[in-house]
Amino acid sequence: MGAKEKQLKPQRRLKPVSNIFKHVKESKIGLIKNLIDKARLKSPWLLHFDCGSCNGCDIETLACLTPVYDIERFGIINVGNPKHADILLVTGTVNHRNKKVLKQLYDQMSEPKVVIAIGSCALSGGIFRDCDNVVGGIDRVIPVDVFVPGCPAKPEAIIDGVILGLQKFANKQKRK
Amino acid sequence: MASTVIPFGPQHPVLPEPLHFKLKIEEETVVDAIPAVGFVHRGLEGLVSKKDFIQMTQVVERVCGICSAMHGMCYCMGIEELMGIEVPKKASFLRIVWTELHRIHSHLLWFGLYADSFGFESLFMEFWKIREKIMDINEATAGSRIIISVNVIGGVKRDISPEHRQWILSTLDEVEERLKRLEKVIYEDFTIRKRTVGIGILSKEKAYELGASGPMARGSGLDIDARSLGYGCFSELDWEPIVEYGGDCYSRAKVRFREMLQSIGLIRQAFQKMPRDEEICVKFNGRPEGEVISRVEQPRGECLYYIKGNGTKNLERCRIRTPSFANFPPIMSMLIGCRLADVPVIILSMDPCISCTER
């Protein structure tokens, strides 16, 4: 990690969830929290970021949303705003220009969050590992929960990865 | 009047790729557009010093996932010309089949994103549903859906069996029938015409001056198609470049739609004229020496490879000029003077491929 990366400050944290319950009775808070946790698991929102891939994994991720694979039947929606998202899908290698953008996106997402790395480039740098502008896999910049291998990863593998990510998501909620 | 600068990208819902524009705006009109690139730059051309010239085939296929077969074909054609390798005729026809399949799936993908750019979600789903048929063919014949890696120096890796041939032809019939049903929507739908006719006009002179290529040039009335050079076995097939004269987003969409139907025809012809029971790959000795320029027509336009070998296993230089790179100056001139709401449609009408542009 270079000196530049340390200068990246995390974005301002969102207000803690407890503030929402200002006007709710003490006894009911636990109940509502449980409900939110359950609902979140049934409809996780995705944020997809292309971090320098060759488009192969990107279009496979998009193909997951279309009628043949239809990931939306699990209640999953692809959103453009990191603050709305629960799951971050990242494809491609990290380079010196977009690592800042990736870090910012990750910091803007609210807790709990899961990161899924798709394709061999996101895992280790893949075939581009030796290139001069490539930092490596995305785990050099942000923590990763699920790794989906393949060049490019097949839609079935990506769906499998997302389902695995949801299990981790549930565990993170419990720990919170 | 004071102008506002609106950043467009790099992370935005229109395109999956990180494309960044700074749009200078006065009221609703764009007065200046500045592209900022480098988010996908990997320094891929530098790999020639680390991988040998046979491994480079796999590297150049990953310049862009959407037109990977064309990149592999262009590189292999260049090396074959350098080393004087005669490719078997059957291999040339098989290359045409796979590259035209790639052209169809790339255009289908583009039509989906194009429909999405003006909010026609159901059309997006419809085009991607058709695209899966082509993906199935790729998977059955080459073993992978997108990066199919069939091109090797000296020919192709795999053959297409007669049973597969029958199945491919019947699948293509189905695809053609479904496309014909959507033809009316793309050509005549009120909403689509409102959003595309007369938007982002590029005149014939301007297209020539700024060096547009592919459907951008052909939509403006320029008859430029690298396939008419007759590389591979294209000279033996019966076809003509498709040209439209409007110069707006609508004409460019029309060019791409007609090209998809043409590609289906080209695949049928290639299967008819393909010789039977012949070898598909030749062995070769030696290392490339000298320099060569090889050109192919990709879905987005003309792709050019400059290859220089010095008699060792590593090449000295492999320069790639991709069509999206050539299409950036025309898009800059089209954006100036347009309305802010039309920016996504205009940018998409070029079919931007950022991983191609930046490599």
pLDDT tens digit sequence for B254-304: 899 999 999 999 999 888 888 887 778 888 888 888 889 988 888 888 888
Q: What is the Cα–Cα distance from B71 to A48, expressed in whole angstroms?
A: 26
Instruction: Return the minimum-mean-pLDDT range out of A28-32, B128-132, B197-201, B209-213.
Output: A28-32
| Cα-based angle B244, B248, B253 (whole degrees, multiple of 5) | 65
Q: What is the Cα–Cα distance from B299 to B313, expressed in whole angstroms?
A: 31
Orientation angle between helical segments B249-273 and B162-188, nearest 10 degrees = 160
Residue A1 is predicted with a pLDDT of 44
Asked if the Cβ–Cβ distance from B16 to A56 is below 8 Å, we say no
Average confidence (pLDDT) over B198-219:
87
CA-wise closest residue to A134 among A42, A16, A22, A51: A51
User: In the predicted model, is pLDDT for residue A21 greater than 70?
Assistant: no
Distance of CA B195 to CAs B32, B198, B343, Å?
21, 9, 11
Tens digit of each residue's pLDDT (9 = 90 or more) over A117-154: 998 888 888 888 888 888 888 888 889 989 998 888 88
Min CA distance, B65 vs chain A (Å)? 4
Max CA-CA distance within chain A?
59
Under 8 Å CB pairs connecting chains A and B tally to 119
Residue A19 is predicted with a pLDDT of 62
Chain B interface, mutation test: which of A47, A50, A77, most B Cβ atoms within 10 Å?
A: A50
- B346, B332 in Cβ contact below 8 A? no
Answering whether pTM is above 0.90, one says no
Average confidence (pLDDT) over B188-195:
86
| Cα-based angle B291, B310, B316 (whole degrees, multiple of 5) | 80
Q: Output the six-digit token pair for B13.
A: 């819902």
Cβ neighbours around B140 below 10 Å, total = 13
**Is B7 in the A-facing interface, judged by CB distances under 8 Å?**
no
Nearest beta carbon to residue B355 from set A54, A105, A130: A54
Residue A140 is predicted with a pLDDT of 86
CA-wise closest residue to B297 among B202, B206, B227: B227
Give Cβ neighbours of residue B195 (< 8 Å, ≥ 6 apart): B118, B249, B342, B345
**Is B36 in the A-facing interface, judged by CB distances under 8 Å?**
no
User: In the predicted model, is pLDDT for residue A3 greater than 60?
Assistant: no
Residue B211: what residue type?
A: G
Residue A17 is predicted with a pLDDT of 55
Share of chain B above pLDDT 70, in %: 97
Tens digit of each residue's pLDDT (9 = 90 or more) over A86-116: 888 888 888 888 888 888 888 888 878 899 9
**DSSP code, position B8:** E
- B348, B113 in Cβ contact below 8 A? yes
Give Cβ neighbours of residue B45 (< 8 Å, ≥ 6 apart): B317, B318, B319, B320, B359
B chain contacts of residue A89, beta-carbon cutoff 8 Å:
none
Confidence of residue A8 (pLDDT cuts 50, 70, 90): low
Q: Which long-range contacts (CB under 8 A, 24 or more apart) does B219-224 make?
A: B219/B244, B219/B246, B219/B247, B219/B248, B219/B251, B219/B252, B219/B254, B219/B255, B220/B245, B220/B247, B220/B251, B221/B245, B221/B247, B224/B302
Peptide bond into B10 cis (omega under 30): yes
Residue B314 is predicted with a pLDDT of 87
Instruction: Return the minimum-mean-pLDDT range out of A164-168, B15-19, B178-182, B292-296.
Output: B15-19
Cβ neighbours around B5 below 10 Å, total = 10
Residue A136 is predicted with a pLDDT of 81
Average confidence (pLDDT) over B104-132:
87
- B27, B339 in Cβ contact below 8 A? no
Asked if the Cβ–Cβ distance from B10 to A98 is below 8 Å, we say yes
Q: Which fold has domain B51-318?
A: Cytochrome-c3 Hydrogenase; chain B (1.10.645)
Average confidence (pLDDT) over A63-83:
82
For residue A98, count CB atoms less than 10 angstroms from its CB and return exposed for 0-12, middle for 13-18, buried for 19 or more.
buried
User: In the predicted model, is pLDDT for residue B170 greater than 50?
Assistant: yes
Asked if the Cβ–Cβ distance from A59 to B46 is below 8 Å, we say no
User: In the predicted model, is pLDDT for residue A2 greater than 70?
Assistant: no
Q: What is the Cα–Cα distance from B39 to B23, expressed in whole angstroms?
A: 18
Distance of CA A155 to the CA centre of its chain: 17
Q: What is the Cα–Cα distance from B151 to A175, expressed in whole angstroms?
A: 51
Min CA distance, B235 vs chain A (Å)? 31
Mean pLDDT value across chain A = 80
Asked if the Cβ–Cβ distance from A131 to B46 is below 8 Å, we say yes
Per-residue burial over A101-120, b = 16 or more CB atoms within 10 Å of its CB, e = otherwise: bbbebbebbeebbbbbbbbb
HEC states along B65-128?
Answer: CCCHHHHHHHHHHHHHHHHCCCCCHHHHHHHHHHHHHHHHHHHHHHHHHHHHHCCCHHHHHHHH
Q: What is the Cα–Cα distance from B84 to B137, expressed in whole angstroms?
A: 32
Spans of all domains in chain B: 51-318
DSSP B156-214: ES----HHHHHHHHHHHHHHHHHHHHHHHHHHH-HHHHHHHTTSS---HHHHHHTT--T
Q: What is the Cα–Cα distance from B22 to B4, expressed in whole angstroms?
A: 10
Confidence of residue B173 (pLDDT cuts 50, 70, 90): very high
Confidence of residue A15 (pLDDT cuts 50, 70, 90): low
Q: What is the Cα–Cα distance from B244 to B255, expressed in whole angstroms?
A: 6
A chain contacts of residue B39, beta-carbon cutoff 8 Å:
52, 95, 97-98, 101
Q: What is the Cα–Cα distance from B196 to A5, expressed in whole angstroms?
A: 44
Asked if the Cβ–Cβ distance from B65 to A58 is below 8 Å, we say yes
Q: What is the CATH number of domain A44-175?
A: 3.40.50.12280
User: In the predicted model, is pLDDT for residue B28 greater than 50?
Assistant: yes
